[in-house]
Amino acid sequence: MVVAYPCEAKPSALENDGDQTDQLSRYVTDRDPALRNQIVASHAGLAYRLARKFTGRGEPYDDLVQVASLGLILAVERFDPARGGTLVSFATLTILGELKRHFRDRAWSMRVPRRLQETYLEAKAVIDSLTQENGHSPTYQEIAARLEITNEELLEALEAGRNFYPLSFDGPAKDSSATVSAPAFDDPGLLSTEDRRFLSRLAEGLPAGSRRAVELRFNQDLTQAEIAHELGISQMQVSRTLAKALRHMRERAQT
């Protein structure tokens, strides 16, 4: 069965997020695709609205909707109501992260050392985890302690991360007691092994070149320019290939 996304979800579908706790809890346990599709469809308007915020920046609205919709699906896959928070809040961060990553792919002009990339991405996952565990944004000290690195190493990685996503921080950047705003990391957690397997299943049926582009995009976190160099095609071709692949993956997720 294919779930058709509405152009806009009714406000009640988003306002009554708390009413879906039972559905979300059941999905965590059962992983029933039909139930997931129902949850995703009821929040589809959120993906459309967030995609609209990024229009006028040179990317087709339909492509932005595909990116946002995949972010919504990933959010439903990752979200666990037992850890606190609401799906709308969690999905908003995930969708914005995917949209910003999409634009980063088109505009990233500085190569960040792999060591800093890994620390930055690990920090994002830790921030998401600590925020849900403690009910508030973690401090730099708390993040560094969880990662078993120094505050200086953490701040260096976070600064480097500005080349990946626009970040914002609460409090002085060099104050180790300052808290990191949870919304600053709009993509909660790098794709886990389970996420990667889920995306690999969605990519089944794609041409070999498209599957490779998806792998480089999600598994290796390459920019579109880097994917173009790797595949020996233009960045425009990469952009079109990924847009078509995202549409295919969203459709598979709805069956």
- What's the pLDDT tens digit per position in 12-69? 344 455 557 889 999 989 989 889 999 999 999 999 999 999 888 778 888 899 899 9
Do 98 and 16 lie in one domain? The reply is yes
**Count of CB atoms within 10 A of residue 84's CB?**
12
Integer CA distances (angstroms), 158 to 117, 121, 154, 174, 222, in order: 9, 9, 6, 11, 19
Do 139 and 26 lie in one domain? The reply is no
In a domain, 1, yes or no: no
In a domain, 4, yes or no: no
Range of the domain at 58: 11-107+191-253
Q: What is the pLDDT of residue 109?
A: 39
Nearest to 36 by CA among 92, 68, 94, 79: 79
pTM of the predicted protein model: 0.52
In a domain, 215, yes or no: yes
Do 240 and 205 lie in one domain? The reply is yes
Do 51 and 97 lie in one domain? The reply is yes
In a domain, 247, yes or no: yes
Rounded to the nearest angstrom, the gap between the alpha carbon of residue 125 and the centroid of all alpha carbons in its chain is 11
- CATH label of the domain that carries residue 147: 1.10.10.10
- Bigger pLDDT: 171 or 99? 99
- CATH label of the domain that carries residue 209: 1.20.120
Q: What is the pLDDT of residue 73?
A: 93
Do 241 and 170 lie in one domain? The reply is no
- Bigger pLDDT: 30 or 6? 30
Do 219 and 98 lie in one domain? The reply is yes
Residue owning tokens 């346990």: 29
Do 78 and 159 lie in one domain? The reply is no
| Whether the predicted pLDDT of 164 surpasses 60 | no
In a domain, 2, yes or no: no
For residue 76, what are its two tokens?
Answer: 């439903």
Do 221 and 176 lie in one domain? The reply is no
Do 94 and 158 lie in one domain? The reply is no
In a domain, 3, yes or no: no
Average pLDDT on 94-116 reads: 71
DSSP string, 110-131: -PPPHHHHHHHHHHHHHHHHHH
Do 89 and 175 lie in one domain? The reply is no
Do 127 and 232 lie in one domain? The reply is no
| Domain boundary residue, one of 184, 200, 226 | 184
In a domain, 6, yes or no: no
Q: What is the pLDDT of residue 110?
A: 44
Do 176 and 215 lie in one domain? The reply is no
Domain count, the chain: 2
Share of the chain above pLDDT 70, in %: 74
In a domain, 151, yes or no: yes
Q: What is the pLDDT of residue 198?
A: 78
| Domain boundary residue, one of 130, 158, 184 | 184
| Domain boundary residue, one of 164, 184, 204 | 184
Q: How confident is the model over 61-102, as pLDDT tens digits?
A: 888 998 999 999 999 998 988 888 899 999 999 999 889 888
Share the mean pLDDT of the chain: 76
Which of 56-60, 102-106, 152-156 is predicted with the least confidence, judged by mean pLDDT? Answer: 102-106
Nearest to 63 by CA among 187, 251, 239: 239
